[in-house]
Copies of this chain bind each other. A is one copy, B any other.
Amino acid sequence: MSSGKVTTLTEAIARFVHDGHTVYLAGFTHAIPFAAGHEIIRQRRRNLILARATPDLICDQMIAAGCARKLIFSWGGNPGVGSLRAFRRAVERGELEIEEYTHFAMLSRLAAGASGLPFFPLRSLLGSDLPGVNPQIRTIRCPFTGEELAAVPSLRPDVTVVHAQRADAEGNVQIWGIVGDQREAAFAASRVIACVEEVVDELVVANDPNRTMVPGEVVSAVVAVPFGAHPSYVQGYYDRDNQFYIEWDGVTATPDGYAAWLDAWVHGVRDRQEYAARLGQGRLAQLQTPTRYTAPVNYGTFS
């Protein structure tokens, strides 16, 4: 059965991501939907509220490109390298509104959003200066013990983008390795765009339904985007392009550096295929990892 969800990234972004939207790009340093971020830049979306626990290079690029008016986040750095210069510059100049949490609080906001709860309670945040700068951090008293806990409101992105290993045409997304924030981020959103390394037959999914991390009915678009998470890694597919992360620091030392990079690698290519071609087979091949397969398990037949 085809639901017509399988599409191109160009179409998916055009159809589902609009100016002013709250967009959550999922993936906790693993399987970051870079290709989707680039397409959003390419289609020149404006006034987005970007939400992401770890903004990473992708949000740095989108901020530099002028897509964002606000960032909701919990850790804004270049993982393993240093800082995100566009993010820093924008915040230090007061050009970007920020709404800041801890990781646990961000995840709790997504959990509330996914669950249809208006808030989520957690034991954190109190005693830090974060509640003083973020009025969305409040307290709640336990009706049983009388304890005071922190509370954060639900986060309901207009669109969440996930990148994963595979999905079927209905958008049943299977992920292995680090799952991070992907499930809650998907269930919390009004729309989900699933970018995957491979679109597979629905029997592949049904063969092992415990691996389905995001079921098809919360997914609006399915896009095959090989290497769509480059320069981040995807378990079983490719490694992080660490050179890219290190060089990013130099590339972005000046606003001109950003502009030149965006011109060359985002506006200068039509889509992810052209991007990959420009990276070159040699570089991509270097990132591929040796295979290591799981052993099968027996589900049995009950009929």
Contact = CB atoms under 8 A, between A and B. Distances in A.
Interface of A: 116-119, 121-123, 136, 138-140, 142-145, 147, 149, 151, 153, 165, 174, 176-177, 179, 204, 207-208, 210-211, 233, 235-237, 239, 289-302
A119 B117 CA distance: 14
A144 B140 CA distance: 10
B297 A236 contact: yes
A158 B283 CA distance: 55
A147 B121 CA distance: 15
B119 A144 contact: yes
Contact of A147 (B118, B289, B291): B118
Nearest to A296: B293
A121 B144 CA distance: 12
A72 B298 CA distance: 34
Contact of A295 (B143, B208, B239): B208
Contact of A211 (B139, B147, B177, B297): B297
A236 B295 contact: no
List 9 tightest A-B contacts by C-beta distance, closest first: A289-B300, A293-B296, A236-B298, A236-B300, A208-B294, A118-B142, A138-B143, A144-B153, A118-B145
A297 B176 contact: yes
B302 A239 contact: yes
Nearest to A136: B144
Contacts of A299: 176-177, 235-236, 292-294
Copies of this protein in the assembly total 2
Contacts of A237: 298, 300
A85 B144 CA distance: 34
Contacts of A298: 236-237, 291-294
A144 B118 contact: yes
A147 B118 CA distance: 8
Contacts of A136: 144
21 contacts: A117-B121, A118-B149, A119-B143, A119-B144, A138-B144, A139-B143, A144-B151, A177-B299, A179-B210, A233-B302, A236-B297, A236-B298, A236-B299, A236-B300, A290-B301, A291-B301, A292-B298, A292-B299, A292-B300, A293-B296, A294-B298
B207 A294 contact: yes
Contacts of A179: 210
Nearest to A176: B210
Contacts of A289: 300-302
A102 to B, nearest CB: 16
A300 B127 CA distance: 42
Contacts of A233: 302
Contacts of A144: 118-119, 136, 138, 151, 153
A298 B288 CA distance: 12
A13 B116 CA distance: 40
